[in-house]
Chains A and B, each alone.
Chain A
Amino acid sequence: KQEVTQIPAALSVPEGENLVLNCSFTDSAIYNLQWFRQDPGKGLTSLLLIQSSQREQTSGRLNASLDKSSGRSTLYIAASQPGDSATYLCAVPSRGNEKLTFGTGTRLTIIP
């Protein structure tokens, strides 16, 4: 059974700093990994999807890396802004189907 863990559960950093969010998974036989953002009481917004054949994926100030062999992914946010405050979730699909297993999330607060 796939288990996905995100550490830390909460993180507060001053505006402008670079930061890294961590995601680990137990079953390395994944075919992709996704990072999502969730604002309070809202749905999920897809940020980045990394295929298993990729090591990195970039979108603007966001960079996600994937190391399947170690069961880890990181989300790097450069030059953080107050608008980046949200909960960030990583998720991996189960083999052969659309079911996503989510991590517990990291609640990020950017301090102006």
Chain B
Amino acid sequence: DSGVTQTPKHLITATGQRVTLRCSPRSGDLSVYWYQQSLDQGLQFLIQYYNGEERAKGNILERFSAQQFPDLHSELNLSSLELGDSALYFCASSRQGEEQFFGPGTRLTVL
């Protein structure tokens, strides 16, 4: 158990819909990272937040957004969903930045 929690574990929705994925980092970790894992793209970095502020952006689509709240939990919002958005979404957290601890992931299925 990494100490990072993610909800929900599974999410099934339809194209065009909007969903929110939630992540709670390890106690004391200020950084939260979001990744997308798919068979064709591998593990792709989406976005990083540090103590409530956006720190770095990766291959995140404009339809996707994230935020980190004062209690340090983070949410990833995915809108206008497409079939190709079906993937595993991981959250990771870190304290100093070098070592990341991953949550169990949310499996998103878009039908």
Do A and B form a real pair? no
Name A residues whose Cβ lies closer than 8 Å to a Cβ of B. Answer: none
Name B residues whose Cβ lies closer than 8 Å to a Cβ of A. Answer: none
